[in-house]
Amino acid sequence: MHYLSPLRYPGGKRKLAPYIQLLMCRNGLLDGTYAEPYAGGGSVALSLLYGEFASHVYLNDYDPAIAAFWRAVVDQPDELSQRVWDVDITVEEWERQRLVQEALEPDPLDLAFSTLFLNRTNRSGIIRGGLIGGRQQNGPWRMDARFNRGELIRRIKKVARYRGRISVHQLDALDFLRSIVPTLSGRALLYLDPPYYVKGGDLYEHHYQRDDHQRVACLVRTIEQPWVVSYDCVPEIQEMYAGYRQLVYAIHYSAQDRYRGREVMVFSPGLTVPDVADPSKVKSKLVAAEL
């Protein structure tokens, strides 16, 4: 599957997009609404828009940097694209962009561009992570290895073409579930991909403690719309979602260290779940056969 998002994201769910598409097909949700309380890189949402599986998507992220980025893509794509084209990709510029992230009240467009710049020049896309190639730029890769100006601009402008079908929010996930999700009428699917239970503190600016994960699990149980939750597979999470159908599968992580771990996907009652052993390996041609 082609890369759709301008962002590289730790634990990104790009490979799960065909599976979510298949879920929508199997459950009569085509042309419905799709919502992500933890949008991150937004690859699944974009795949649903571009493939015309969803009529409207809701991207929510509590991280001000990520929310600012998506707002700029939707509201100021030309200005953001111009900055991508003009910027010098140097260690000095990297230092300047890091300061934007530390500012108390940064200009929204400045914050959006800083987020994209650091996401594309830092290891594994972690905004507050280390620079690709190091400060001396003597590693096997240089900091511009993931900063293809033309490709990034193409992705930004493609998202912008769908701006009328994208709603961006910056709410705590629980607030999003309480205030936005109940307003979604008709066919809708909610996909929650909270911060990892074990490695969340290493990957995300806004990670969770055990009680936070528990609060999410309790609130998810009250959601009337169909929902899917994915997590790193640990006993604590499986216990929180006991009583719901769960699918455990292997996945390849690329942030910090490269290894194959296990994830678990949890499904709301009544959702027709495709008989697939590994949702990350569903091919687009299987989805096409459903259309």
pLDDT tens track for 198-209 = 864 455 566 789
Structure tokens at 33: 């609404």
Looking at the DSSP bridge assignments, the partners of residue 229 are: 192, 266
Residues 48 and 183 in one domain: yes
**CA torsion, points 52, 276, 193, 48, in degrees to nearest 10?**
0
Tell me the pLDDT tens digit for each residue of 163-199. Answer: 999 999 999 999 999 999 999 988 999 999 999 888 6
Residue 2 counted as domain residue: no
- What is the distance between the alpha carbons of residues 268 and 91, in angstroms, rounded to a whole number? 47
* CA nearest to 166, candidates 27, 48, 7: 48
Residue 4 backbone phi and psi in degrees, to 5: -110, -35
Alpha-carbon 150 to chain mean position: 22
- Is 138 inside any structural domain? yes
> 269 and 213, same structural domain?
yes
Alpha-carbon span 38 to 40, nearest angstrom? 6
Do 150 and 220 fall within a single domain?
Answer: no
pLDDT: is 283 or 30 the higher one? Answer: 30
Q: Where in the sequence is the domain holding 270, given as residue range(s)?
A: 14-62+171-288
Q: Is 29 within the bounds of a domain?
A: yes
**How many CB atoms neighbour CB 171 within 10 A?**
16
Q: Helix (H, G, I), strand (E, B), or coil: what is residue 147?
A: coil
Answer yes or no: is 39 within a domain: yes
Give the residue-averaged pLDDT of 240-259.
77
pLDDT band at 119 (very low <50, low <70, confident <90, very high): very high
- For 56, half-sphere exposure in the C-beta direction (CA atoms, 13 angstrom radius) is 11
Give the pLDDT band of residue 257 (cuts 50, 70, 90).
very low
Nearest to 132 by CA among 94, 186, 178, 87: 94
Q: In the structure encoding, which two tokens stand for residue 58, read together?
A: 């809701």
For the record, the structure tokens of 210 come out as 């055990």
Say which residue, 198 or 95, is predicted with more confidence.
95
Same domain, 257 and 180: yes
Q: Name the domain boundary from 111, 129, 159.
A: 159
